[in-house]
Amino acid sequence: MKTTQILIGMVMLLIACSDSKTQSNQGTKSTSSLEKIIDLEKAIENPIEPLNLSDFVEDIEYIRPEYPASLVDIIFDVALNENYLLLQVRERLLCYSRDGKFLREIGKNGQGPKEYLGIRASSLHDSLVAIHSNWTRKILWYNTDGEYLKETPVADGILNIDVLNNDRIVIHHFPHTTPIDDPNLCIVGIIDSKGDTIQLKKSKPYYSKGQTLQQSIWKYNDMVRVLSCINDTVYSVSKDEILPTYVVNFGKYKVSQEFFSDMHSSPSEKSEKGRKFIRHLSFSEMFDKILITFIYDKKNWYGVHSKQSGETSVWSVKPDSINKYGFLKGGGWVNDVDGGYSVTYLKSNSDGYFIRIVPPDELKARSLENKERIEVKYPEKQKKLEQLVNSLDDDENPIIIIYKLKK
């Protein structure tokens, strides 16, 4: 009898522990879901009225890279901090002061030990500059005075880099040319300045065949965020670890296996098939929100994810035109800050900002057009923009527009 009572007591204790653990897990799961899921499927099916850009952007800065002291045609990438602006142009990396005064060229194109053989990618951190040399599988380090510091070996198949400090580099695989079933494919990685691997994040790809797509990469709070086509997880990369941070729920709007693997369709066929799926995502992050853009159903979509509530809200804007390749023109997030250029993509490679590169003639045209149809929140900023636009030469360097996020 005593043995039976003991057994019954043990069973009851196990049940109680099990219930407690289940409730605890359910609570954790609920909290995790609230904080972690960016639900684009639900948001698309319940779109909202457009939100104002001025709700999220406190100021817009325009930088005119000095002309004719430096003259560029295509700007491939931009990096900036509180003191410097870097423009990656054809075979050169140009360094400017924060207000656009040309300072110097960083490094030199060539085959010498301190030279790069073309620029595959570049990165700026404080006064450190890193150049990923094309074909030579090495990263060259300089300071912003142009002095050579050291070099780091890097594996083939790497394109973009992000410097975290003088001994940590985030590496990203080459999109569009790397097969999704490549056994060496990783979502993102960290190496030190000697080229040794700190961590590689790998995962079984969702897709079975096809070429990898361009990653969504942005910076926030001294970390690099990465979302790739390998899975639907956003990873946060710090100097010593890579951690999952968000999961994007595409639902039925996720690019299908068939579309992903079909690289041989004509441009018009791919454009028509692709309208059914969410593509070309970009992000920019604030302390309490994540801003999102993407293309779906031949329209530009803009959204805001609240970190507090876990809610994601989106709305769409029809483009002015669509070419035969499916590229959308116009249809940007209406700029009610100063009535200037309306963004369609969030290039956020610097913490606290997103950036656009706009030719002077296009900035002129958009500003004049918007003046007639947009009521701005800051008339004094619009007046200042008008003065800038009226002083622009059509043949000067592209204008760097910096949208400063609210703190």
Contact 180, 191 (CB under 8 A): no
pLDDT over 70 at 27, yes or no:
no
Amino acid letter for position 51: L
Q: Decide if 5 is inside a domain.
A: no
Q: Decide if 20 is inside a domain.
A: no
pLDDT over 50 at 99, yes or no:
yes
Q: Decide if 13 is inside a domain.
A: no
- Residue 181 has a pLDDT of 94
- Residue 67 has a pLDDT of 85
pTM (two decimals): 0.88
pLDDT over 50 at 219, yes or no:
yes
pLDDT over 50 at 2, yes or no:
no
β-sheet with 216-220: strand ranges across? 37-39, 242-249, 233-237, 223-227, 216-220
Provide the residue range defining the domain that includes 203: 37-405
Average of pLDDT values for 281-302?
A: 97
**Sequence-separated (6 or more) residues with CB below 8 Å from residue 172:** 158, 159, 160, 161, 162, 188, 215, 217, 226
Confidence of residue 264 (pLDDT cuts 50, 70, 90): low
Burial tier of 169 (Cβ tally within 10 Å: 0-12, 13-18, 19+): buried
More confident residue, 35 or 294: 294
Burial tier of 240 (Cβ tally within 10 Å: 0-12, 13-18, 19+): exposed
- State the CATH number of the domain containing residue 162: 2.130.10
Average of pLDDT values for 296-300?
A: 95
Q: Which residue has tokens 């194109």?
A: 109
Q: Tens digit of pLDDT for each residue in 49-64?
A: 999 999 999 999 999 9
Confidence of residue 269 (pLDDT cuts 50, 70, 90): low
Tell me the sheet residues that pair with 289: 306
Which one of 1-10, 69-78, 238-247 scores highest in mean pLDDT?
A: 238-247
Average pLDDT, the chain: 89
Total of domains in the chain: 1
User: For residue 348, how far is the Cα from the chain centroid?
Assistant: 5
- Residue 9 has a pLDDT of 45
Q: Decide if 28 is inside a domain.
A: no
**Sequence-separated (6 or more) residues with CB below 8 Å from residue 102:** 65, 66, 69, 70, 94, 95, 96
Q: Decide if 100 is inside a domain.
A: yes
- Residue 29 has a pLDDT of 37
Q: Decide if 9 is inside a domain.
A: no
- Residue 1 has a pLDDT of 42
Q: Decide if 217 is inside a domain.
A: yes
Distance CA 360, CA 340 (A): 12
Q: Decide if 21 is inside a domain.
A: no
Helix H, strand E, coil C: the string for the chain is: CHHHHHHHHHHHHHHHHHHHHHHHHHHHHHHHHHHHEEEHHHHHHCCCCCCCHHHCEEEEEEECCCCCCCCCCCEEEEEECCCEEEEEECCEEEEEECCCCEEEECCCECCCCCCECCEEEEEEECCEEEEEECCCCEEEEEECCCCEEEEEECCCCEEEEEEEECCEEEEEECCCCCECCCCCCCCEEEECCCCCEEEEECCCCCCCCCECCCCEEEEECCEEEEECCCCCEEEEECCCCEEEEEEEECHHHCCCHHHHHCCCCCHHHHHHHHCCCCEEEEEEECCCEEEEEEEECCEEEEEEEECCCCCEEEEEECCCEECCCCCEECCCECCCCCCCCCECCCECCCCCEEEEEECHHHHHHHHHHHHHHCCCCCHHHHHHHHHHHHHCCCCCCCEEEEEEECC
